[in-house]
Amino acid sequence: MKKATLVVIGGSGTSDLFQLEESEEISTPYGKSLAYWIRVAGKDVAFISRHGLTHNLPPHKVNYRANIYTAKQLSDNGYVVATNAVGSLNKRMSPGELVLADQVIDFTKGRVCTFFDGTNEKVVHTDVTFPFSSFLTSKILKASKRLGLKIHPKGTYVCTEGPRFETAAEIKMFKKIGGDLVGMTLVPEVFLAKELNLEYASICIVTNWAAGIAKKVSSEEVLQVMKNLAPKLKLLLEETIKLI
């Protein structure tokens, strides 16, 4: 099996970032996952589309365990960078800007959040005090400086179940407990990566103000902003890959 210098897990609006040619279906104990191979700076990179190329998988139906298990199998060194479209609760983080998540608060409800579900006859409690890779976030920050791109170096991501957007009251609560960003896909992905000892980082793309801050939130708005930011995100990923 070919090995990747980096595995990219692409969120909403990222399927067109790279020319996806060679695909590989990976079988895992948790189902199948589809990876696409691309070449960046002379390096093999595996791309996994979280929602599918046609965006047919809602956030609560994504097979996170299969995707992360696949990332573990394909990665040469355990490096995974995810992209996540988010709404902002923090007035310093405006739509059109990038943020590196450094903490996460879990408000999901019905997702399988662990590989250690008791079927292997042992109990494992994983330390997730610091969920994200300091190594990869430092590389992304260095890449952003080289490109002259503004990126916020930290932010707390509140993950909700979806697929609906949040109420204004929920956003008000999330803001009070320290949330900066809100989205639907970081959990359980980041925790599963931690369980498999992967180096995982998340580039959050602020696509909108959260409910209550904005009068209305729509999927169309999210996808349009993602489309506008795609060239910037592609440059950042390419420069990061060069630094690994």
* pLDDT of 13 higher than 70: no
pLDDT digits (tens, 9 = 90+) for 57-69: 899 999 999 999 9
Cis peptide bond prior to 29, omega within 30° of 0: no
For residue 51, what pLDDT band results from cuts at 50, 70 and 90? confident
- Of all residues in the chain, what percent are helix, strand and coil, respectively (each to 5)? 30, 30, 40
168 part of a folded domain:
yes
- CATH number of the domain residue 89 falls in: 3.40.50.1580
Structure tokens at 124: 């494992």
For residue 12, what pLDDT band results from cuts at 50, 70 and 90? low
Residue among 181, 180, 223, 183 nearest 59 (CA) = 183
> What is the structure's pLDDT at 21?
75
> Which of these ranges, 162-171, 174-183, 192-201, 213-222, has the smallest mean pLDDT?
213-222
> Which of these ranges, 18-22, 92-96, 111-115, 199-203, has the smallest mean pLDDT?
18-22
82, 184 in Cβ contact below 8 A?
no
104, 190 in Cβ contact below 8 A?
yes
The count of structural domains within the chain is 1
37 part of a folded domain:
yes
The helix (H) or strand (E) run that includes residue 135 is: helix 134-147
71 part of a folded domain:
yes
pLDDT digits (tens, 9 = 90+) for 204-220: 999 999 999 988 888 88
12, 222 in Cβ contact below 8 A?
yes
Q: Which residues contact 91 (CB under 8 A, 6 or more apart)?
A: none
Between CA 149 and CA 143 the distance in angstroms is: 8
C-alpha distances in angstroms, 139 versus 44, 45, 153, 203?
18, 16, 11, 12
Containing structural domain, residue 65? 6-243
Between CA 196 and CA 214 the distance in angstroms is: 38
Between CA 47 and CA 244 the distance in angstroms is: 16
DSSP H helical ranges for 59-124 = 64-74
Q: Average of pLDDT values for 27-35? A: 94
Place of tokens 């103000």: 209
> What is the structure's pLDDT at 164?
94
pLDDT digits (tens, 9 = 90+) for 127-145: 999 999 999 999 999 999 9
Structure tokens at 87: 């709404």
Between CA 209 and CA 91 the distance in angstroms is: 9
1 part of a folded domain:
no
Residue type (1 letter), 15: S
Q: Average of pLDDT values for 144-153? A: 97
Tell me the torsion sign for CA atoms 165, 204, 202, 19.
positive
